Amino acid sequence: MKWKKFRIKTITDAEDIIISTLYDIGLEGAQIEDKVPLTAAEKEQMFVDILPDGPEDDGIAWLSFFVEETEDGHLLVDGKETDEESVMENVRRELEELRIFCDIGEGSISVDETEDIDWINNWKQYFHQFYIDDLLVIPSWEEVEETDKDKMVLHIDPGTAFGTGMHETTQLCIRQLKKFVTPETVLLDVGTGSGILGILALMFGARSVVGTDLDPCAVEAVRENLESNHIDPDKFEMMIGNIITEKEVQDRVGYGCYDIVAANILADVLVNLTPVICSQLKPGGIYITSGIIDDKETTVVDAVKAAGLELLEVNYQGEWVGVTARKPV
């Protein structure tokens, strides 16, 4: 399948209105390229602690719309055949009408033909099986080699949104889970994502897991990964919401009932999470955190101590840090 890419140069303030306007003429699924910094909410949903420095926002935005091209060269818009010239004419007309009452910047349009791409599955070429110590992590599209049949194997498909265990922060958490999980462990995983930490806790012998995440897509990701690893879904309960700010989520999660709380998220989020999560931990419960870039170590350690937790370990991998603490008995 081939696609025509219509790329519009505009300004960031006009992104939404152009996308909405062109949606009305059948152009959907806009790709946005700009230099606008992420919002606090967007950063909160990412597992990295500090993003690479980017260029200063210049107010310029590029909006790309992809239109399917048939074998005979026609374009399909809203299921109807058309051609490049007609699409360009419609887009220009809509942009000129927008100029009457708002600034859209340059408003120039370019057209390119894309490669024949499987948009959903093309990323899979970059994710292959790998080891975390003696644990083999493998996606569904690869097979376990005969020499690995006796290994513990985690089947994980990240989809397009969630982690796979390749990141150092996840590996720091996994090693701590392996150290502290027992057959009686009830685990709370804050920022569940693909479910990798909770699923591994169950594989290590934990009794049950509760996961929380801001992204509703985590529910399906966890369900699929539980199924791939032949784990009883009744052992893993997912909740969507912000455990830091939403009392309802805190109440649903429960108080004083977790042997381990794991959180692989932003250091700044951990600062706000830690005093809240103390209420969820049992006396003597273990708090496992990561997602901490090395120069934020002190920030998280101080937050742990301020919440009245006993610091047990600080572990390192690359430029990342894991902090493990215990709630006093």
Ligand-binding site membership of 191 (annotated): yes
CB distance 270 to 298 below 8 Å: no
Ligand-binding site membership of 264 (annotated): yes
Bridge partners for 64 per DSSP: 7, 31
**Structural domains present in the chain:** 2-113 (3.30.70.120), 163-326 (3.40.50.150)
- Residue 323, classed as helix, strand or coil, is strand
Ligand-binding site membership of 58 (annotated): no
Instruction: Select from 117, 115, 116, 2 the least CA-distant residue to 69.
Output: 2
Question: Which DSSP letter does residue 171 get?
Answer: H
- Kindly tell me the sign of the dihedral angle through the C-alpha atoms of 14, 17, 18, 19: positive
Q: Which helix (H) or strand (E) holds 237?
A: strand 236-240
CB distance 197 to 177 below 8 Å: yes
CB distance 191 to 264 below 8 Å: yes
Instruction: Select from 197, 194, 199, 239 the least CA-distant residue to 221.
Output: 194
Question: Which DSSP letter does residue 114 get?
Answer: P
Question: Taking the model in full, what pTM does it have?
Answer: 0.67
- Residue 148: its pLDDT value, please? 85
- Residue 46: its pLDDT value, please? 46
- Residue 53: its pLDDT value, please? 57
* ∠ Cα 251 254 257 (to 5°): 165
- Residue 243, classed as helix, strand or coil, is coil
Ligand-binding site membership of 105 (annotated): no
- Residue 167, classed as helix, strand or coil, is coil
- Residue 95: its pLDDT value, please? 95
Please report, in tens digits, the pLDDT of each residue of the chain (329 residues total).
Answer: 678 889 999 999 999 899 988 988 888 778 888 887 766 555 544 444 445 556 678 899 999 998 888 888 889 888 889 999 999 999 999 999 999 989 999 999 999 877 555 555 665 666 778 888 889 888 877 888 888 888 899 988 755 445 667 788 889 999 999 999 999 999 999 999 889 999 999 999 999 999 999 888 889 889 999 999 999 999 999 999 999 999 999 999 999 999 999 999 888 889 999 999 999 999 999 999 998 888 899 999 999 999 999 999 999 998 899 999 999 99
- Kindly tell me the sign of the dihedral angle through the C-alpha atoms of 106, 55, 63, 113: positive
